[in-house]
Amino acid sequence: MRILYTLLLILVSPFFFYSLYKSKPNKPKFGVRWKEHFGFTPQLQHAINAPIWIHAVSVGEVLAVTPLIKTFKKLNPTVSIIITTTTSTGAAEAEKLGGLVEHRYTPVDFSFAVNGFISAIQPQALFIMETELWPNTLHCCQVNNIPVTIINARLSARSEARYKKFPFVFSLLLKNINYILAQTKQDAQRFMNLGLKTEQVSVTGSIKFDIKVNNEQLTQASLLRHSLGQDRPIWIAASTHKGEDEQLIKAHQQLLSKKPNALLILVPRHPERFLSVQILAEQTGLSVTTRSSQQAITENTQVYLGDSMGEMMVLLGAADVCFIAGSLIGDKVGGHNLLEPAALKKPILTGPSYFNFKQITEQLVELGACTVCNDSSEITHSLMQLFDNKKMRLEQGEIAFSFVQQNQGALQKTIDKM
């Protein structure tokens, strides 16, 4: 079965590599390091023992696993850690961890590439963030006696149904996974429904709840708010994807007709889209200032484009209301993490497609801290309600913050299993 899978991988790999290596504005270059994807992996420079291997595919996963790495390293200072990413943007984020880790690009899921990586690195264990599962990688780890643990694991009802339709696909993975550390009881049950044994699955919660908003972030957010305007209504559309910006800009235009001094902080998910989103906003007649330009924001600025990396908490902190994108384009994305604005005591809006964060979203909706908006008109309506009612804004923010606090602790539970 793996032979058939590998043949299919050979067929689709040219398209994967084209997308991965295609040059785009603001996208970091791979340079000569592209060879690491094929198992030509430089040995670690600072490892004093067999490292643990943590895989986080891109920026979002690196950001989520960063607190885990920092805490684990504090408790185990002599243990070496290698973090792998697939994307160059993920690599740029991983570099911010400095001497806590060494970074390499993960090998593509061909056995020769994975074995080349393992030979160079000699990891003692592999910890995969969420559900980035590749059959040949898992197989090569088991052959080399490298235990595999999926941390912060989640499995949606949709994914479970797909695996049940094609059980041979999950069987390729099942026999090579040692442990699953699931976010929720529902996730754990879905994994067991697919054949994992009870003793292989633990519920540790989501480490994304263990958000620590540091003083520097709060200070930077306060300074940014001051420069944007203390008294004007400000909302943020965070982590937008292609096909969403038009709807969000339309919502903002509708808002401006009622609140002319309103400001939208618009933050595309991927850096290669920064320029195209700026052009889109300008073509609609809106006045745009970009963060990268460091130009002064005036009362005439209507859109502030967050074209920077690693500053989401600062940008969220400067807004009154947060719309979490990835949720307005049908089944393509499935939403993004609502816990960052919740940790900042912000009322939250999201679109109707949030299946990747279904339980968290529904809990926040039930508590009254999040509102689901189906289109631009509903977004504008919700914004108007919140901007016209400061008490409502503050109450929703406090409820969201309490929700985060009540669910913290997954970080330590996960470390206890490592």
Domain ranges of the chain: 2-210+409-417, 215-406
Of the candidates 61, 244, 311, 340, the residue annotated as catalytic is 61
Domain 2-210+409-417 fold: Rossmann fold (3.40.50)
Question: Could you identify the residue written with the tokens 């529902």?
Answer: 186
First to last CA, the chain: 31
Cβ atoms of 57 and 86 closer than 8 Å: yes
Can you give the pLDDT of all 418 residues of the chain as single tens digits? Answer: 788 889 989 999 999 999 899 887 778 889 999 999 999 999 999 888 999 999 999 888 898 899 999 999 999 999 999 999 999 989 998 999 999 999 999 999 999 999 999 999 999 999 999 878 899 999 999 999 999 999 999 888 888 998 888 887 788 888 899 999 999 999 999 999 999 999 999 999 999 899 889 999 999 999 999 999 999 999 999 999 999 999 999 999 999 999 999 999 999 998 889 999 999 999 999 999 999 998 889 999 999 999 998 899 999 999 999 999 999 998 888 899 899 999 999 999 999 999 888 889 999 999 999 999 999 999 999 999 999 999 999 999 999 999 999 999 999 999 999 8
User: What secondary structure letter does DSSP report for 37?
Assistant: G
Q: Could you confirm whether domain 215-406 is CATH 3.40.309.10?
A: no
Cβ atoms of 351 and 325 closer than 8 Å: yes
User: What secondary structure letter does DSSP report for 166?
Assistant: S
* Residue in 89, 112, 104 with CA at minimum distance from that of residue 54: 104
**Six token digits for residue 357:** 């964060």
Q: How does DSSP assign 192-248, residue by residue?
A: HHTT--GGGEEE---GGG-----HHHHHHHHHHHHHH-SSS-EEEEEEE-TTTHHHH
Cβ atoms of 268 and 245 closer than 8 Å: yes
311 is catalytic: no
